[in-house]
Structure 1
Amino acid sequence: MFKVLLLAIALMAVVAVLFSVGVFLKKKGGMVNTHVGGNKELTKRGISCATSQDREERKKKNGAQ
C-alpha cells in the first residue's frame, strides 16, 4: 500500500515538472486560453461567451429605460 502511494506521488511530481517545463518553453508562455473570448476565429464570427452576451443585453435593456 505504501509503495503504491509513493509511486503515485512520484508520478504526479514528474507530471507537474514536465507540465511546468512545457509552459516555460512555449514562445508566448503561460497557460492556454480556453475561454471563448480568447478564440480569434469565434471573435471574427461575433460569437462570445454566454456570460458576456448576457451582460451586454442587460446593459442595453437598462440603458433603454
Structure 2
Amino acid sequence: MPRTPPPDLPYMLLDGRIVYIGMFLVLVVTEMVVAELMYLQWLDPKEPVYIYINSTGTTRDDGETVSF
C-alpha cells in the first residue's frame, strides 16, 4: 500500500476554518489573512471562522510600536 505524506499545517488550519496570525502585521501578512478569510467565506458563508493571533503587532519606521 503506497504511503502518502501528511497534509501540511497551512492546509490543516484552513481545513479547520482556522486563520492563524503568528508574525508581525506587515502588508504581506494582512493581505494573506484577508485572502484566507475571503476564501473561507466563499467556501461556506454560514460556517464560523476561528482566528488565532500570536503577534506583537507592528512598528513604524522609527521603531515605535503601533499596535500590540
TM-score by length of 1: 0.30
- Larger relative contact order, structure 1 or 2 (CA cutoff 8 Å, min sep 6): 2
TM-score by length of 2: 0.29
Relative to total residues, which structure has the larger helix share, 1 or 2?
A: 1
Relative to total residues, which structure has the larger strand share, 1 or 2?
A: 2
